[in-house]
A = this chain, B = another copy of it.
């Protein structure tokens, strides 16, 4: 996976999940430092509409446009960020 490509693709994610992968909205998850394989699994579950409830409809829409390569790159990018936001 390509972390830099993931970073470029992640611009839209920052609105909810934060520039540093720490969500500013308490109903949204932090992504920084999350396990890469879990992130891939979660994004695909949204894309496949296997995750509903909560804010899932938003992520279903976001994930619909992502290719498997995009998903892999985004997961690698967020997994690479420090879990504490780099403090």
A interface residue numbers (CB < 8 A to B): 23, 26-30, 32-38, 41-42, 44-45, 48, 50-56, 82-85
Contact = CB atoms under 8 A, between A and B. Distances in A.
Q: How many copies does the complex hold?
A: 2
Interface of A, helix, strand, loop or mixed by DSSP:
loop
18 contacts: A23-B35, A23-B38, A26-B35, A26-B37, A27-B38, A29-B34, A29-B38, A29-B42, A30-B33, A30-B35, A30-B83, A42-B54, A44-B53, A45-B51, A45-B52, A48-B53, A50-B56, A83-B83
Contacts of A44: 53-54
Contacts of A36: 26
Contacts of A84: 33, 82-84
